[in-house]
Amino acid sequence: MNFKLMQVNIIGNTGKLWIKIAIWIVFFILLLIINYYYFNHNTILEFFCIGCLWLPWIFINKMLEKKCIERIVIKLDYDLLSFTVTKNGVENSYKLCDIKSYYTLISNSGYSIGLSFKFKNANKIFFTIPYKNLSEGQTNTEEVINSFRLMIKNYNKTLNKNQRITIGWWMKGGGY
């Protein structure tokens, strides 16, 4: 069989982290307001609160790596024109003939790249892959993206123009 196996770390479920950061910030802002009106501008408390307000932004990368990084295995099967994603022991297979468009997007910070697929049945899957290798044996992010592009390019060569997988413009921004 002609396939390629890649181990990738993805960023997932960041919503809970952002809610925790928001609660943290609101708490210390409220403490600053209480300090202003009831504790007569306690300088030590002000510096402590301001320092605590900066902590999430100083350690955001470490928090993302610790709380939101998930390991997946992607298997590109060139013979069956499909790819399989194994996440938390659950294996999902996707055929290229079911994909309507794909999209890649580099984050503004350059920290990650997004890879998204839109299927003909309107379902979507999205992976956010950090550029930095976070573990031993992880496949380089550029190699993952280029492997998908090459597989789709070769698949598109076998089809007429109406059946091809397109670069998606269905998300804000555009294709890469």
Tens digit of pLDDT at every position of the chain (176 positions): 577 778 888 887 778 888 999 999 999 999 999 998 888 888 899 999 999 999 999 998 788 777 878 888 888 887 777 888 888 788 888 888 888 888 888 877 777 888 888 888 888 888 888 877 777 777 888 888 888 888 888 888 888 888 888 886 544 444 44
Cα torsion at 65, 68, 70, 74 (round to 10°)?
-100
Which residue has tokens 């399989």? 84
Q: Which amino acid is at 25?
A: I
Q: 128 near 64, Cβ under 8 Å?
A: no
Specify the pLDDT at position 54. 94
- How far is the first Cα of the chain from the last one, in angstroms, to the nearest whole number? 30
- Residue 141 contacts residue 76 (beta carbons within 8 Å): no
Q: Which residue has the tokens 């397109």?
A: 166
Sheet harboring 90-95: ordered strands across?
Answer: 3-11, 69-77, 82-87, 90-95
Distance CA 109, CA 121 (A): 32
**What is the value of pTM for the model shown?**
0.68
Fold annotation for 3-12+76-167: PH-domain like (2.30.29)
* Domain locations along the chain: 3-12+76-167, 15-65
- pLDDT number for residue 173: 45
